[in-house]
Amino acid sequence: MMGLLMTSCQSKTERTYAGDYSYNTSGVLNIYAQKDTIHVTHTERGSMRVVPLADEKNKVMIIRTSLEGKVTRLYGTFSGDELVIKPYEYQVNYAEYEGVVGNLISTKTETVRVDCEGEVYHSGNDVTIVLTENYTGEHIHASKVMTVAEKY
């Protein structure tokens, strides 16, 4: 008896992680403005797509689109259940106020460098990606900003 084995061109990693996710990001940003340090809670929600890169084993492009319409593109490599993300730039919007409960002085946007690492968790057919991000900018610093993305 003769058997036939068919395989896909995609690796197991690409088939497992590729697809659409919803995500939530949360963390505390430290904003160094004038003489004060201001601690601001940063939250963001949206959708995320993991796209395998052709001809590059286990490498992916990740496109995050926030509910506000901000699009961020990341590149990473899966190694087992770990995800290594290349450092990328991200724009953070914040407001400066006069005093503790004062008048709005201005709104600002700062581009920060983001260093990121991730882990992947499986439960049956469910896939969850957890990213831990560190922001470094001229006035903004944050460590352990957490993004949790669940595949749908």
Residue 139 region by backbone torsions, left for phi larger than 0, else alpha for psi between -120 and 50, else beta: alpha
pTM of the model: 0.82
Instruction: Tell me the CA distances in angstroms from 150 to 8, 125, 133, 137, one per residue in order.
Output: 25, 11, 17, 29
Of 132, 127, 39, 125, whose CA–CA distance to 85 is shortest? 132
pLDDT in tens, the chain (152 residues): 444 433 344 445 445 789 999 999 999 999 887 777 888 888 999 999 999 998 888 999 999 999 999 999 999 999 989 999 999 999 988 777 776 667 777 888 999 999 999 999 999 889 999 999 999 999 999 999 999 999 99
In 3-state terms, what secondary structure has residue 19?
Answer: strand
